[in-house]
Homo-oligomer: A and B are copies of this chain.
Amino acid sequence: MLPITNFQPPFRITRASHVAITAKDLAASRDFYRDVIGLVVTEETDDAVYLRGLEEAAHHSLTLYQEKGEEAKALYIGLRVQRDEDIVSAENFFKANGIDYRRVEKPHQGPTIEFRDPVGTHIELTSSMTTVERKMQDFDEFVAGAPQRIDHFQVVSYDVQAATDFWAGLGMRLAEYTAKDGTDELWGSWMEVKGNTHDLVFTNGRGPRLHHFAYTVPDGISLLHAADVAGARGFGEEIDRGPGRHGISNALFLYLRDPDQHRVELFTTHYQFIDLEDEPIRWDISDARRAQLWGMPASRRWFFEASEFPDEPVLEPLLTAAPSTLEDYLQLH
């Protein structure tokens, strides 16, 4: 698979850090993320709500913006770079490689740029945020899943190989991947930069679309409690997968849909992936255990629904499967 080399990436990405989505009813979405998921509201403005996990010192890891059009969208996924200088290095890299980008001013963020990766994923890079209080010891304010921090993003892409190549070139390391049996056809890639299995995941399908963003929770009981709270607050049918255990990454997961049908995952963190001698793990797409080690399959909603990015055409996947096996093939995490 991808060779581990000693190359230095053009700038240093440190972690998945934030995501922005739109909501048709901002108050309803705020209530969902605060009361059903358990995030902390850092700040509200007329057209935006900034939220964060309980342990996060960064001002926001999720921003909800008022949607003024017909359909709620995923605006961008955000990554951190280590220093302000990395933003400059990123600009130089994008210029040199003919990638459009623009500097943007964002409240509570340091130097920030926006760009689209080669498969159309909308990305924001920033080097710092205003710090606020970590709430991780305010145990009396823990609600629902008690989400601790944002962890990763999963994007449905029409060309997983192109996406993977691009991000590998920026220093992301492949931890696990799915490929068509007996071939190198890449159907899903789990790539990381922070020392565990994934910060950014691409899976094969109509894209680009944001499949989900994920927060860590303290333990399996928190997952079950989040599900119970979802049921108590009328979102019991908005669980479209789980609780279950993925083979890939070994995550214990629960997926919920917000009032605009954006999907959020709660999960109990993954294994450490730091040592360079560790090879990425390959899963054949015929191996059902990659998707789940036990239990019933995901719902059709989980397989086929995801959030589009604004003004970004959704393309048919380059790799396709015979219709009879489509669902099986799509069982990518």
Contact A6 B231, CB 8 Å, known A57-B275, A239-B296, A278-B131: no
Select one of B129, B134, B228, B276 contacting A83, CB under 8 A. Answer: B276
Select one of B232, B243, B294 contacting A140, CB under 8 A. Answer: B232
Interface flags, A212-248, vs B, CB<8A=1, else 0: 0000001111001101111111011101111101010
Select one of B15, B57, B237 contacting A278, CB under 8 A. Answer: B57
Contact A250 B83, CB 8 Å, known A55-B271, A128-B277, A275-B14: no
Centre residue among A139, A247, A277 by max chain B CB count within 10 A: A139
Select one of B58, B139, B144 contacting A275, CB under 8 A. Answer: B58
- Specify which chain B residues have a CB less than 8 angstroms from the CB of A29 in the assembled complex: none
Q: Which of A124-141 contact B (CB under 8 A)?
A: 128-129, 131, 134, 136-141
Select one of B140, B268, B274, B289 contacting A229, CB under 8 A. Answer: B140
Give this chain's copy count.
Answer: 4
What separation, in Å, do the CA atoms of A178 and B228 have in the docked complex?
A: 22
- Specify which chain B residues have a CB less than 8 angstroms from the CB of A139 in the assembled complex: 225, 228-229, 231-232
Q: Are A148 and B271 neighbours in the complex by a CB distance under 8 Å?
A: yes
A243 CB, min distance to chain B CBs, angstroms: 5
Q: Which of A269-295 contact B (CB under 8 A)?
A: 269, 271-272, 274-279, 289, 292-295
Interface flags, A16-44, vs B, CB<8A=1, else 0: 00000000000000000001000000000
Q: Are A194 and B227 neighbours in the complex by a CB distance under 8 Å?
A: no
Select one of B110, B137, B243 contacting A232, CB under 8 A. Answer: B137
- Specify which chain B residues have a CB less than 8 angstroms from the CB of A225 in the assembled complex: 139, 142
Q: Are B269 and A83 neighbours in the complex by a CB distance under 8 Å?
A: no
- Specify which chain B residues have a CB less than 8 angstroms from the CB of A14 in the assembled complex: 274-275
A195 at the interface (CB under 8 A from B): yes
What separation, in Å, do the CA atoms of A35 and B140 have in the docked complex?
A: 8
What separation, in Å, do the CA atoms of A230 and B136 have in the docked complex?
A: 14
Q: Are A137 and B247 neighbours in the complex by a CB distance under 8 Å?
A: yes
Q: Are A144 and B149 neighbours in the complex by a CB distance under 8 Å?
A: no
- Specify which chain B residues have a CB less than 8 angstroms from the CB of A230 in the assembled complex: 294
A82 at the interface (CB under 8 A from B): yes
A252 at the interface (CB under 8 A from B): yes
- Specify which chain B residues have a CB less than 8 angstroms from the CB of A143 in the assembled complex: 140
Select one of B138, B220, B227, B268 contacting A245, CB under 8 A. Answer: B227
What separation, in Å, do the CA atoms of A242 and B233 have in the docked complex?
A: 20
Given contacts A137-B293, A220-B220, 15 further A-B contacts (CB under 8 A): A15-B272, A57-B275, A80-B274, A80-B275, A129-B275, A137-B247, A140-B144, A140-B232, A194-B272, A224-B252, A228-B245, A231-B245, A236-B295, A296-B296, A296-B299
Binding site for B on A (CB under 8 A): 6, 14-15, 35, 55, 57-58, 80, 82-83, 85, 110, 128-129, 131, 134, 136-144, 148-149, 194-195, 218-221, 224-225, 227-233, 235-237, 239-243, 245, 247, 250, 252, 268-269, 271-272, 274-279, 289, 292-296, 299
